[in-house]
Amino acid sequence: MYTVKSRLKEQASLKNKKAAIIGVGALGSVTAQHLLRLGIGELRLIDRDIVELTNLGRQVLYTEADAHSRLPKAIAAQKRLQAINSSVRISAHVQDANPATIEELVKGCDLILDGTDNMRTRFLINDVSVKLNIPWIYGGAVASRGVVACFLPGRTPCLRCMFHEPDELHGQTCDTIGVLGPLVHIVGSYQVLLAYHLLTGNEEACLSSLKHIDLWHHDVDELPRVFHPSCPCCQKGKYHFLDENIQESLIVQLCGRNSIQITPQQPVHLSFDVWMKRWKQLGEAKQTAYYVQLYYDGYRIVVFRDGRLLLEGVNNPEQAKQLYAKLIGA
């Protein structure tokens, strides 16, 4: 029986827990709010992007003021959440979760929550989860369909046991078909329910099958999970996505945006003053606490402290490479 006494005991244990949320967009907004209000001890908010007006239909942490100020999502989310519960330790990381950064970003956490929009990053989370023995909770939402599952290293099959490669060649993304707003809340809330069980010692409740939700048709299915005997990750200890040797800058087209992000092979620490001096000779340049932006040849270009470049108005990777080489260097 669930009693007030058991609830108080669970709340006390939550105050000592740390969770990292990778991607503070639609799902990340929901999971962050719920975990904060439940009384978790520490939240790490990890997101590479900036708030846009087009986000506001489904990303409930943000306002028009955030979009007009072009705040990084991690920073805007931190400010909003801290105003709700100032007793929770919240850190904002305006970074890309990639093979060079993810271990440091999640080190020491009790749980990782997936708020991403692509399978390749989820396979990377799966690798770091198994390597560092940190549970993670998968959540996905597109159109009216959602998926949720909890992965516990050593106790459940890992993501690679179920899906051997990050197949994304299905043409169904938030760019092409969108997502039903209420679905985001259902998937995110289910993620937090699993997180609550896990962080308060009820691991047995997290061992169930992967759930597939079709909200439009009021349908919930369960997909069974079994350990794959030759899984390269959880059975053989090979972390292909985490150990990936990036031979060139990582180029990613951002979901729902006419934008491309370019991440250098290794994070760097840029002096914004230096970039302001260079870029103000090329066009309208502006420096904020989080990035330097330039309006150049019809594009909006943003450089972050770790050397990431965000190019708005570009959807061609080759064109993005040319701009990167011209404005940053080879």
Average pLDDT over residues 287-311: 89
Higher pLDDT, residue 251 or 230: 230
Average pLDDT over residues 203-216: 91
Average pLDDT over residues 287-315: 88
What's the per-residue H, E or C state across the chain?
Answer: CCCHHHHHHHHHHHCCCEEEEECCCHHHHHHHHHHHHHCCCEEEEECCCECCHHHCCCCCCCCHHHHHHCCEHHHHHHHHHHHHCCCCEEEEECCCCCCCCHHHHHCCCCEEEECCCCHHHHHHHHHHHHHHCCCEEEEEEEECEEEEEEECCCCCCCHHHHCCCCCCCCCCCCCCCCECHHHHHHHHHHHHHHHHHHHCCCHHHHCCCEEEEECCCCEEEEECCCCCCCCCCCCCCCCCCCCCCCCCCEEEECCCCCEEEEECCCCCCCCHHHHHHHHCCCCEEEECCCEEEEEECCEEEEEECCCCEEEECCCCHHHHHHHHHHHCCC
pTM score, whole prediction: 0.88
Average pLDDT over residues 45-49: 95
pLDDT at 168 over 60: no
Average pLDDT over residues 150-177: 78
- Rounded to the nearest integer, the mean pLDDT of the chain is 88
pLDDT at 8 over 70: no
pLDDT at 236 over 70: yes
pLDDT at 171 over 60: no
pLDDT at 46 over 50: yes
Which residues are CB-contacts of 295 (< 8 A; sequence separation ≥ 6)? 283, 284, 285, 301
Most confident of 129-138, 174-183, 274-283, 287-296: 129-138
Closest CA to 106 of 62, 137, 141: 137
Q: What is the pLDDT of residues 101-160, one digit of tens each?
A: 999 999 999 999 999 988 889 999 999 999 999 999 999 998 899 999 999 999 999 999
% pLDDT > 90, the chain: 62
pLDDT at 232 over 80: yes
pLDDT in the model for residue 247:
47
pLDDT in the model for residue 198:
95
CA angle centred on 146, ends 109 and 55, rounded to 5°: 75
pLDDT in the model for residue 169:
47
Q: What is the pLDDT of residues 61-87, one digit of tens each?
A: 999 999 999 999 999 999 999 999 999
pLDDT at 231 over 70: yes
Average pLDDT over residues 204-219: 91
Higher pLDDT, residue 307 or 187: 187
pLDDT at 328 over 90: no
pLDDT in the model for residue 94:
94
pLDDT in the model for residue 246:
54
pLDDT at 96 over 50: yes
Question: What are the structural domains, with CATH classification, of the chain?
Answer: 4-223 (3.40.50.720), 250-327 (3.30.310)
pLDDT in the model for residue 256:
59
- β 136-142/111-114 pair status: parallel
